[in-house]
Structure 1
Amino acid sequence: MHLLPIAALLTSTFFMMAGAGLMGILLPVRGSIEGWSSYEIGAFGTSYALAFTFGCVVIPRMVKSAGHVRTFSSLSALLAISILFCGLMVDSTAWIVFRALSGFALAGSYMVIESWLNERVTNETRGTIFSVYMIVTMAAMMGGQYAMPLTNPGLPVPFMLCAIFFALAVIPTALSRAQSPAPIATVKIDVLMLFRNSPVAAVGIVLAGILSAGWGNMAPVFGQQTGMTTTDIATLTVSAMFGGAIFQIPLGRISDKTDRRYVMTVAGIIGVGAAITGVYLAGAQPFALFCIAFVLGGIIYPAYSLAVAHANDYAADADFVKVSSGLLILYGIGTMIGPIYTAFLMDVGGPGGLFQAMGSAMAIYAAYAFYRTFRRIAIPAEERADFQTIPFARVQTPASFSLDPRAEASLEAEAEEVDAEDTGREAA
């Protein structure tokens, strides 16, 4: 019964994520078919990340002036327009602009849905709804990626299909009778405070962004360059996401019982081993690469969750949303670097450069986490907050953290602060 009031929002989320999943794999593959360089394709990912991060900052102001329904409908239309323009104007420079438009629009769309969901939850249902939201986002993204093998990426059809997904996302929300939520709250970001709070988390988050964006944008290019079929390419990317979903919980539970920096170190070392294997097996049979992708994904995506958990171990409960949202901005910086860095290594070393990029970033992730164990005493296990699985970071906005069960204390503190300000104004 808890899910009935948010069924329309979850349906919109599913279609939105399916379109995003299809777009994320379609553009790199089509770019490779057109013979564009790794740098040009990497620029798609960088422009997307830049616009997505910018959208997280400015979209709350748009929602405040236009309202949730109008903003969401407008941004969904912009998404459909951007992908249709990609199908109409097959030019690498134009696609950099169109991909940026989609990044901005997706950031806003996610924020509207997440803030709306947050209005529908209570402290008793927050955990359940957060888990369902996480499952819907992952299932839709994987499903969207598997929609590409049903079409020919060299034709306009998949671009049209992607636009249809974005258009379908508007209908449930536009017809919903649920009351629009309050304006999206803006979060003040203090990067120096984040670094002082947890240097390993700040550095780890940037590296997690490099890993996620580097893999997400360039793995389809790797598949195309090594002669994989579209089904194989979709399976390669989904294998990594599946590995991330599987390994998040065990890695998180282990990190609850021991110093999270040791877990980050070991995870990074395992990732380096998988990446080295990938370099030598870059031209191997697809099944071997699927296995490598599964292991890599089991490190790439939990790397973000582990860093966030470590940061929150040293932050007050009331600062959860502020700290996590700030880290997400740092993650955005990493996602701007990742595609270009990976493209550079693939341009120099061929398709195997994908695994060189993953391995080098994971090596730094592990080395810095281990170095920090000598610089700061670990917080006692009983004082750590329980690890919570987190949706894939590239589809998160600061509004995502309001849904997290750990946000309860932070939201209560924010409400008390607002009440105190209102009381002060009335007294004046």
Structure 2
Amino acid sequence: MRATLFSLISLFISCFILLTANGLINVLMPVRMALEEFDTDSIGFVQSLYFVGVLVGAIYSKKLIIRAGHIRMFAGCVSIGAVSILICSLHEDIYLWGCMRMVLGFCNASAFSAMESWLSDRTTPSNRGRVLAVYNATMLAGLFAGQFFMNLAEPEESKLFVIGGILLCLAVIPIALSKHKGPRIEEAKSISLLALYRISPLGVVSCLVAGSIYAAIFNLLPVFANENSIVDFQLSLYMGVAILGAFLLQFPVGFLSDKYDRRTVLFSLLSVSAVSCVAATWFAEMENLTGLFITTALSCGIIACTYPLSLSETFDKLEKDQLVAAMGCMVLAFAFGGVVGPYSASLVMEWVGSAGLFYCLAVTQLLLAVFVIYRIKMRPALPVEEQTHFVMQGGAVTGAVVEMAPEESRITSDS
């Protein structure tokens, strides 16, 4: 285990720097657009375009890896991402920023596909879970650290865009100078999204919804904070608490998911999160920051767990040789949700105010909870001892992490 982690140290360093850059950019973009007095729906539109890029990257990243190799593809895509954020510093135009946000989404999806398939190649069934835990912790640590880079300069200036570009360039160096070569790409069994839906309707639908609510909360939360006078270091702390909640809640949720019927766990979590979202708006109105921070962390934590729960639910129904292809479909479903989520939530925010973000999330989660009840009635629960292990989510949802998923799965038929 120690030798495996040591051989991957350059990848982990690049991953940390890359996520630090994205942690900064993810807060900077909506805050800057709000300062430029862009409409909330325009901000949501730009943030949604990021997931258009993720969608395209999920489709084409493997072809790029085959063509250029892991290291050159990673270096090229991250460098293009640096160019895109630096271009944003030149001119305040909603369409330019939307295009650059889409480019960054494509670059991130491709970069994570390279890193995660590399991790899969360097690990064994006996240590994959522990290596994946280190990888996820590295990603979330980078996202957390990136929030506090917002305090290095005023968001009205171009310095933060430049810092983001510098960090992205720095992320290339450890992998590019590593003495290790990237793994070879092997062809995987294909499966269509429709076929996967027939196998696991709840898994696919919950993955789609997970993409929508995940993208909405983490892309528009800075806008909500700004409209509630949470700025400067307080904004960094608020976003940091949200990411910390996303990390910490995966441990108890993973335990519950492996111990009980995960559909029941998902229903319970969605109900708690919906209540927490409504409570967050009340605390915001009362200017109770402690309550707002706690409820936001709880909601973000549960929302971040919805995607890995949907993966685990789907993996329960699949054979081992279907996992890689199924993961590709799940990434596409998540990205489709990510395209819709921020823009839809921004329209609600434009209509009812900043609280519309949490109201939109609450309603969406309750609708998914209703579908969970329907699926519970339609199909008997899988025995707990036959369930695959919970697949922990990191700070980004892209790539080939399925290759590090549980090795033993099976297919079950609809009842």
The one-letter code of the counterpart of 1:157 is K
Contact 1:187–1:325 (CA<8 Å) still a contact in 2?
A: no
Corresponding residue of 2:328: 325
Q: 1:217 aligns with which of 206, 216, 219?
A: 219
Change (3 A) 1:186 1:221: farther
| 2:400 is aligned with 1:399 | yes
Q: 2:314 aligns with which of 300, 311, 314?
A: 311
Contact 1:195–1:202 (CA<8 Å) still a contact in 2?
A: yes
Q: 1:298 aligns with which of 286, 290, 301?
A: 301
Contact 1:222–1:354 (CA<8 Å) still a contact in 2?
A: yes
Greater Cα offset, 321-330 or 216-225: 321-330
TM-align CA RMSD: 1.7
Corresponding residue of 1:50: 52
Corresponding residue of 2:101: 99
Contact 1:13–1:137 (CA<8 Å) still a contact in 2?
A: yes
Greater Cα offset, 104-113 or 182-191: 182-191
Task: Tell me the distance in 2 between the aligned counterparts of 1:174 and 1:314.
Answer: 39
Corresponding residue of 2:185: 183
| 2:227 is aligned with 1:250 | no
Contact 1:232–1:286 (CA<8 Å) still a contact in 2?
A: no
Q: 2:235 aligns with which of 221, 233, 236?
A: 233
| Superposed displacement of residue 184, structure 1 | 6.5
User: What stretches of structure 1 of length at least 5 have no aligned partner?
Assistant: 411-428
Equivalences for residues 258-407 of structure 1 within 5 A? 258-283=260-285, 284-392=287-395, 395-404=396-405, 406=406
The one-letter code of the counterpart of 1:400 is V
| Superposed displacement of residue 240, structure 1 | 2.1
The one-letter code of the counterpart of 2:78 is S
| 1:123-163 Cα shifts (integer Å, max 9, x gaps) | 33322221111110110111112211232111111111111
| 1:231-251 Cα shifts (integer Å, max 9, x gaps) | 222222222222222222222
Contact 2:270–2:366 (CA<8 Å) still a contact in 1?
A: yes
| 1:219-273 Cα shifts (integer Å, max 9, x gaps) | 0011111111122222222222222222222222223232211111111111111
| Superposed displacement of residue 94, structure 1 | 0.8
Corresponding residue of 1:59: 61
Corresponding residue of 1:124: 126
The one-letter code of the counterpart of 1:396 is V
Task: Tell me the distance in 1 between the aligned counterparts of 2:288 and 2:281.
Answer: 13
| Superposed displacement of residue 175, structure 1 | 1.0
Task: Tell me the distance in 1 between the aligned counterparts of 2:189 and 2:290.
Answer: 44
Corresponding residue of 2:209: 207
Q: Normalising by structure 1, report the TM-score.
A: 0.91
Change (3 A) 1:33 1:386: same
Contact 1:53–1:332 (CA<8 Å) still a contact in 2?
A: yes
Greater Cα offset, 355-364 or 243-252: 243-252
The one-letter code of the counterpart of 2:275 is G
The one-letter code of the counterpart of 2:398 is T
| 1:147-203 Cα shifts (integer Å, max 9, x gaps) | 112321111111111111111111111111112321365663411122111111111
Q: Normalising by structure 2, report the TM-score.
A: 0.93
Change (3 A) 1:185 1:36: farther
| Superposed displacement of residue 409, structure 1 | 5.5
Identity of aligned residues (%): 29
Corresponding residue of 1:148: 150
